Structures are given as structure tokens and as C-alpha cells.
Amino acid sequence: MSVKVADLLWEMLVNAGVKRCYGIVGDALNPVIDALRRNGKIELIHVRHEEYGAFAAVAEAYFTGNPVVVCGTAGPGVVHLFNGLMDARKEGAPVIAIAGDVETSLMDTAALEELNPHKFFEAASLYTGRVVNPEQARAVFHTAILTAILEKGPTVISLPGDIASADAATHSTGITIPATPVLRPSDADLNQLVSMIDIAKTVAIFGGDGCREAHDEVVELARRLKAPVGFALRGKQWLEHDNPNAVGMTGLLGYGGAFGAINDAELLLMLGTDFPFSEFLPGESVKKVQIDKNPKHIGRRTAVDLGLVGDIKATVSALLERVHDKPDSRFLDKHIADTNSFHELLQHYVEKGPGIKPIRPEFLAATLSDVASDDAMFFADTGTAVIWLARHIKGGRNRRLFGSFSWASMANAAPNAFGAQLAYPGRQTIALCGDGGFTMQGMGDLLTQVQRKTPVVQVILNNDSLDFVNIEQQESGIVPFGVDFKNPNFAKVAEAMGAKGIRIEEPADVKEALAEALAYKNGPVVVDAVVDPFALSLPSHVPFHTVKGYTLSLAKQVLSGRMDSVIKTMERNVRLI
């Protein structure tokens, strides 16, 4: 049998390490999927919504580092992939989209389902190739694959059905993935950094996702410099565990002494972070050095005094050979003490949790953290779930914490956990879902999990509202509006769909119910946890405009006759209970 363009594509993807393709077939994609079936080495994960597949692919690609394929057919199918591809772009996940395209004879004729991939994918894709001739195919496939892997992000192969089923112009399917080079600043630049460190009386470190491979090096540097280590949400899982100098996070979800440490230090080392909230970073009173392998990150969130390009592991290793220890630990001790006292505040609703109904989300998340295994993978929906993940789910050397942290899409957690479960079968994969998020996307594809008997645990924060936006609106001084809805009993819905459903209304049942959910291995579990919609969270550093916004919103709510919700908000957040 002759080799078709689509056969060439799948064989090249196999050779690049692709194991799964998430998506929905049809129309332009049919010859492509027929070739996948013939090839037999890549599994098609047939989802009910292309976006769900894309978010699953992001988690698989981010954690394994392997390229993962998603597919959608021309027009609407392709459009459904977009949000997940934006997420792949922001989280740095090598996802390759095979986008069905109209027949070449119909291009640019406003045909049914026609979409110009170059225009449409521009914001998301690192490279988009539209294959209009079999002669082009190998080069386009090769570029899309290598770009996704080496630049860690999404690429798009737009493939019309007539070209997919045409004879390939070559049988060459080999693909060589170059190893990642070691990247670090020059000796002269490192020496300049060493002198800045030597001059500074106090040094703080602030790290992000770029510290992924560098836990031990950063912790050792912090130990020698007596430097507190704060982190962005994307750095938490890499820097918090096994780190006596950890002082928590800054930003809107902030906790611990991170904000103070970063702003009080004489010198701040920003390591592998593109933390976007500039107002939480220090101004000119603190000298700043930023190190990142991506030069575009340097200086864009705050002006820096020195910018160095390098991998954090390689750069900090080289620095450790040159840097002089600092003997004075008073700065570190102060910020560790601040961190400990904030921790006590955070524990309030955890410790009181067994006696408070509706269930406090802090207590739910902390209990989940306690009962989960040491290598559990946690995923949080954008919404209040991220807050509780950041503050109450403990990381660890083998634990993983993930979400749509940089793109901030809703409804990511269930598909993320599904993708992770396929990549790491048997490992605990836990999605902390908003009720808005779960009904937006998780519910339809619960059927996919049921069909595949995938043991994903989704814990739904059932608070009958888009609670995060509720808080956001109050912070900005407006009366909450458009945020309430009515939920079904998700446990019963799950049971009707063939999953295991567990509903928790009583705080006393939380631990046992979560343990039961985690022990279940025959398929997906939905834990419907009825939580307090009035639970608020304030960052460890509260900007003035937030306080002003809350005061204004509460006043407006009183004036518009919502006294009861104001009282509940106050009562449940000033530690009266």
C-alpha cells in the first residue's frame, strides 16, 4: 500500500515520542484518523469536547515533557481547541494540534467550516503550517514537532483532507530531537553578580517555574546566603518542600512572609520567574537581579539592575562555586518568624473546621492534603480552588500541583487530572473543581472517564456561585452580581452517569469521604462537597485598594438590602467561628 501524507505524519509523531492524541474526528479529519488507526502506535483519546482534550494534553505534556497531540476538525472543531492551546502556550507545554482544514480546492472561498489557520491561531501557536501540497508535508511536520518540543509550547499543523489522503512525496520519517544545551551566563557576568551579593547585607530569593529542576541548588544558595525564599504560584511546587528558608508566596494568593522578605531585602534574586503582578514586586529601593533562560522575561515586570540569561540549575550551580557565605541570619529569622505566625492564621479554619457547617474550604483542602499520597498530583480550577490549593495543599518532592496558573481559564482541573492519569496510570490524580468549572466542562467528559474507567478524583467545591468573581467584585467595591446559580446534587448526577458519587455536607464526614474517594480505583469519583460560599481569603499583604473596595462593597450591599449576606461574610471571616 502506498504511504499517504497522513501516514507520514503519524509515523513522524511516533518517532518524536507522541503516545496519545486527544480530540474528536469528522469531516476533514477522517482520512487523518484513518491513518492513525492504521498506524496503531498512538492512542486516540476520544473526548466529548475538544477543549477538554486540549487541557488534558497540556497536563500530560507539561509533566512528561513529551509532545502530545490534539485534533479537531475544520472550523468549529478547531475553534474548540483554542483555549487549551493558549493554556499550553502560557504553561509551556509541548502540544501539537492537528487542525482539519477544508479541501485545497475550496480555500479562500468562504466554504463551509473554512477558517484561516494562520489568522486564527496567531495568538496561541508558536508555529502554524498549512499543508497545501504533499511536497511540503515533511518539512511542515518536522518544524511543528521540533518547535513544540524545543520551545515548549503549542504548534499547529493545518491539514486538508485531500492532502492527508494524497500520496506522500517522501518515506523519510526519522526525526532527531536535539538534547537541551546547558545555558549559563559568562564568567564575567557571574562575577558581577557575586560582587552584588557580597555588597548586599541582606538577600532574598523569589523563584518561579524556571526552578523546576533546581530545587537543591536554590535551597543550598539560600542556606549559604541566609536568604528567605519566596515563590510565585508556579514556583511553589519546586521550592517550598524540604526548604527551611521557604517563606511562602506573594501576590493576591500570597501567604507567609514572602511579601515582606522580598520588599525588605537589599538585594532580590529573581530566579526563573515571569510573575505578572508588578505591584507585589519591590520598586527602586531594592536592587534586583533577574535570571531566566528566556531573555524576554528579563525586566518586563519590574526594572532590574542586572539581567542574566541562563538555566537556573546551571547558573546557580556555577554561582555556588563562587559565592561567599553570609554569617548573619537575623533577616532570615525575622521573615521565617513572620511566615510561622501567618501560618497560624491560616490554620484557624483548618483547626476549627470539624465544628463548622457549611464546610470551610480551608478545612476540606487541608484534609485532602493530609489523606492524599506522597506522590499525588493535584489540579485546581481557576477560581477559589486555586487559593485553597496554594494555601492548604502541601507539596513534596514527588507531589505535583498544577492549574491554568498563567492563562487562568476556568474548567481546567478535571481535564488536567484526566490527562495526568493517562500519563501516570494508578497515581492519585485529584482535581479540585469549582462548581462553575465542573459544569462548564467537567461534567460532559465525565462520560469519557467513565467509559475508560479512569480513576480520577474530582472534588467539587459546591458553593452555588462563581465565588472567585464574587470576591473579586467585592474587592473592587461593587455589589456582587451575576455570580449565583443553583446546583444539582453532583454525587447523584455522577452516579447516574456511571461514576462513583460521594456527597459531603457534614464536616465530620470530610476525612472519611475523601479517603474513600482516593481508595476507589475502578473509575472516576465525584466528591460533591457543600462548602461555605462566604469563605473569604485575603493575601498576606493586602493592598490599600482591596480594603477600600471591600468596605465600599459591603456598604453598598447594606444599602441595597443585602444585610444578611454582609453579616454572614463578616461573621464567617473574622474568626468569630
Name the site residues for ligand TPP (rule: CB under 6 A). Answer: 381-385, 408-410, 434-437, 461, 463, 465-469
Q: Tell me the closest approach of the beta carbon of residue 167 to ligand TPP, in angstroms.
A: 42
Q: Which is nearer to ligand TPP, 468 or 534 (CB)?
A: 468
Q: Tell me the closest approach of the beta carbon of residue 405 to ligand TPP, in angstroms.
A: 12
Question: Among candidates 4, 40, 26, 9, which has minimal Cα distance to 73?
Answer: 26
Nearest residue to ligand TPP on Cβ basis: 434
Q: Residue 575, by phi and psi: left (phi above 0), alpha (psi -120 to 50) or beta?
A: left
Q: Tell me the closest approach of the beta carbon of residue 36 to ligand TPP, in angstroms.
A: 29
Q: Grid coordinates in use for 445?
A: 467528559
User: In a 3-state reduction of DSSP, which class is residue 457?
Assistant: strand
Q: Which is nearer to ligand TPP, 272 or 436 (CB)?
A: 436
User: How far is Cα 466 from Cα 536, in angstroms, rounded to an integer?
Assistant: 13
Question: Among candidates 150, 160, 179, which has minimal Cα distance to 115?
Answer: 160
User: How far is Cα 505 from Cα 494, in angstroms, rounded to an integer?
Assistant: 16
Q: Tell me the closest approach of the beta carbon of residue 424 to ligand TPP, in angstroms.
A: 25
Q: Which is nearer to ligand TPP, 55 or 231 (CB)?
A: 55
Q: Tell me the closest approach of the beta carbon of residue 438 to ligand TPP, in angstroms.
A: 7
- Look up cell 537575623; give the residue: 330
Give 390's contacts (C-beta < 8 A, 6+ positions apart).
233, 236, 249, 253, 255
User: How far is Cα 67 from Cα 83, in angstroms, rounded to an integer?
Assistant: 18
Q: Which is nearer to ligand TPP, 11 or 435 (CB)?
A: 435
Q: Tell me the closest approach of the beta carbon of residue 533 to ligand TPP, in angstroms.
A: 8
Q: Which is nearer to ligand TPP, 435 or 532 (CB)?
A: 435
Q: Which is nearer to ligand TPP, 468 or 550 (CB)?
A: 468
Q: Tell me the closest approach of the beta carbon of residue 54 to ligand TPP, in angstroms.
A: 13
454-493 as b/e: b if 16+ CB within 10 A: bbbbbbbbbbebbbbbbbebbbebebbeebeeebeebbeb
What string of DSSP letters covers 347-384? HHHHHSGGG-SSBPHHHHHHHHHHHS-TT-EEEE-TTH
Q: Which is nearer to ligand TPP, 84 or 94 (CB)?
A: 84
Q: 397 has which bridge partners?
A: none
